[in-house]
């Protein structure tokens, strides 16, 4: 018999945590559970992608902090079997509202990035101190990678027995369907070119400057580079490509509606990040059957690629090593069957079962 699970997060704008929530909803609905998504503000492109069985609760606030009492009222009315909170500020407010409501719902928190990598200001430091004070009031917590687990253990007052490591789920069927759609880009439809691809916000964390320089050192005039996404660094990244004399071989298509159609037609996907919480885009690239190269950044890539078994891992910021990794994959690519087999370890149904275990069987 299904149980009632409420998933609390900011919105359904396009983002990593929101995609995790969407995939988790899909998996839990398929297992017969009653799912409600409780949002600080019910907005975002991914709202329309939620399964029709999922109810959306709009707390109607502009800030996470002001949802304490609306969330408390919701909990008193619904009293779900599980309240699952996603990300640090949401976790703190969920803990306070849960405490004030005095319901018997199990409270499960989750961290999707290493907490210490999120401290960039005095506000971030204050949030982390609040997390340290409140997290121990929860029934359990989820960390999405080993690095996040270790970091959470160090900064919170949670014991090892109160934290479970559960990787992020991906919807393989959806990815494969999207990957099969046509793309009109001239490089991806021309066998004369090999294409290196990456994707993400154009911010320092993603290490795209390292990727561009590494790409420039690959001795192949028919190699091309696509970097999907956009951000504050887009113009400076274009300038780097110009200064390296490769601006005609590098393109920045911006955000594309269906990145999987691009990735599935590329020859190599590169994750050049300085750090990640998990690196879900690597798993998505594997599901597309695209070979991958990644920095061995904290945290996630080493777990996803099993220490390099499914793609080269190189040190963060190491330009020559990243160049060599790209060249190795181009010279001797793995089969798409190998890559897709690894991606299935993160399939929605499998990960949803692991979440069921955390929600209902942990102490």
- Residues 144-175 have pLDDT tens digits of 999 999 999 988 889 999 999 999 999 999 99
Are 19 and 136 in a shared domain?
Answer: yes
Sign of CA dihedral 134, 140, 143, 144: negative
Q: With contact defined as beta carbons under 8 Å apart, do 234 and 209 qualify? A: no
Q: Are residues 155 and 222 in the same domain?
A: no
Domain count, the chain: 2
Q: How confident is the model at residue 361 (pLDDT cuts 50, 70, 90)?
A: confident
pLDDT at 116: 81
Q: Are residues 287 and 314 in the same domain?
A: yes
Whether residue 21 has pLDDT greater than 80: yes
Supply the range of the domain harboring residue 97.
Answer: 4-169+347-361
Claim to verify: residue 189 and residue 140 sit in the same structural domain: no
pLDDT of the residue at 1: 64
134, 26: one domain: yes
Read off the pTM.
Answer: 0.93
Please give the mean pLDDT across all residues of the chain.
Answer: 95
Token pair belonging to 21: 């929530």
Task: Return the percentage of the chain with pLDDT > 90, whole number.
Answer: 89
Residues 156 and 237 in one domain: no
Identify whether the C-beta of residue 25 lies closer than 8 Å to the C-beta of residue 355.
no
Q: Are residues 101 and 196 in the same domain?
A: no
Kindly state whether residues 357 and 277 are assigned to the same domain.
no
The answer to whether residues 192 and 152 belong to one domain is: no
CATH of residue 24: 3.40.50.2000
160 and 178 co-located in one domain? no
Q: Check if the beta carbon of residue 139 is closer than 8 Å to that of residue 106.
A: yes
Answer yes or no: are the C-beta atoms of 323 and 217 closer than 8 Å: yes
Query: Percent of the chain at pLDDT above 70?
Result: 99
Predicted confidence at residue 105, as pLDDT, reads: 97
Q: pLDDT-based confidence at 234, cuts 50/70/90?
A: very high
pLDDT at 362 over 80: no
Residues in Cβ contact with 102 at an 8 Å cutoff, skipping those fewer than 6 apart? none
- The 3 state secondary structure assigned to the chain is CCCEEEEEECCCCCCHHHHHHHHHHHHHHHCCCEEEEEECCCCCHHHHHCCCCCEEEECCCCCHHHHHHHHHHHHHHHCCCEEEECCHHHHHHHHHHHHHHCCCCEEEEEECCCHHHHCCCHHHHHHHHHHHHHHHHCCEEEECCHHHHHHHHHHCCCCHHHEEECCCCECHHHHHHHHCCCCCCCCCCCCCCEEEEEECCCCHHHCHHHHHHHHHCCCCCCEEEEEEECCCCHHHHHHHHHHCCCHHHEEEEECCCCHHHHHCCCCEEEECCCCCCCCHHHHHHHHCCCEEEEECCCCCHHHHCHHHCCCCEECCCCHHHHHHHHHHHHHCCCCHHHHHHHHHHHEHHHHHHHHHHHHHHCC
C-alpha 279/C-alpha 64 separation (Å) is 25
Query: 299: how many CB neighbours lie within 10 A of its CB?
Result: 24
Distance of alpha carbon 296 from alpha carbon 305, whole angstroms: 10
State the pLDDT at residue 363.
62
Instruction: Report the pLDDT averaged over residues 215-229.
Output: 96
pLDDT, tens digit, 9 for 90 and up, residues 41-95? 999 999 999 999 999 999 999 999 999 999 999 999 999 999 999 999 999 999 9
Stretch 211-220: mean pLDDT: 96
196 neighbors 227 (Cβ within 8 angstroms): no
One domain, residues 136 and 26: yes
pLDDT band at 199 (very low <50, low <70, confident <90, very high): very high
Please choose, from the candidates 197, 210, 232, the residue with its C-alpha nearest in 3D space to the C-alpha of residue 314: 210
Q: Are residues 11 and 154 in the same domain?
A: yes
How does pLDDT run across 255-272, given as a tens digit for each residue? Answer: 999 999 999 999 999 999
Residues of 2-39 as b/e, b for ≥16 C-beta within 10 angstroms? ebebbbbbbbbeebbbbbbbbbbbbbbbeeebbbbbbb
- Kindly report, residue by residue over 113-156, the tens digit of the pLDDT: 988 877 777 787 888 889 899 999 999 999 999 999 999 998 88
């Amino acid at each position: 018999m299904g149980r009632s699970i409420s998933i609390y997060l900011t919105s359904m704008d396009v983002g990593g945590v929101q995609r995790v929530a969407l995939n988790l909803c899909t998996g839990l609905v398929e297992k017969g559970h009653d799912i409600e998504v409780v949002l600080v503000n019910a907005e975002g492109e991914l709202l329309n992608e939620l399964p029709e069985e999922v109810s959306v609760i709009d707390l109607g606030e502009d800030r996470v902090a002001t949802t304490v009492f609306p969330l408390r009222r919701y909990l008193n009315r619904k009293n779900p079997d599980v309240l699952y909170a996603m990300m640090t500020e949401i976790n703190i407010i969920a803990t306070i509202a849960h405490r004030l409501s005095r319901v018997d719902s199990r409270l499960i928190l989750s961290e999707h990035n290493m907490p210490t990598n999120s401290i960039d200001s005095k506000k971030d430091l204050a949030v982390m101190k609040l997390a340290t004070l409140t997290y121990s009031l929860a029934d359990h917590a989820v960390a999405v990678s080993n690095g996040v687990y270790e970091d959470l253990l160090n900064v919170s007052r949670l014991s090892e027995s109160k934290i479970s490591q559960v990787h992020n789920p991906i919807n393989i069927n959806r990815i494969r369907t999207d990957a099969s759609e046509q793309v009109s880009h001239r490089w991806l439809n021309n066998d004369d070119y090999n294409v290196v691809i990456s994707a993400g916000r154009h911010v320092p964390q993603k290490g795209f400057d390292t990727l561009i320089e590494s790409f420039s050192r690959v001795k192949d005039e028919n190699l091309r580079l696509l970097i999907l996404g956009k951000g504050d660094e887009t113009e400076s990244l274009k300038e780097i490509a110009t200064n390296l004399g490769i601006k005609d071989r590098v393109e920045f298509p911006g955000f594309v509606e269906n990145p999987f159609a691009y990735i599935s037609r590329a020859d190599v996907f590169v994750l050049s990040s300085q750090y990640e919480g998990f690196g879900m885009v690597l798993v998505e690239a594997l599901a597309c059957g695209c070979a991958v190269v990644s920095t061995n950044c904290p945290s996630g890539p080493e777990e996803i690629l099993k220490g390099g078994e499914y793609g080269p891992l190189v040190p963060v910021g190491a330009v020559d090593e990243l160049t060599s990794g790209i060249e190795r994959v181009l010279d001797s690519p793995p089969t798409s069957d190998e890559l897709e087999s690894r991606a299935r370890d993160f399939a929605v149904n499998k990960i949803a079962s692991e979440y069921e275990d955390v929600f209902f069987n942990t102490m």
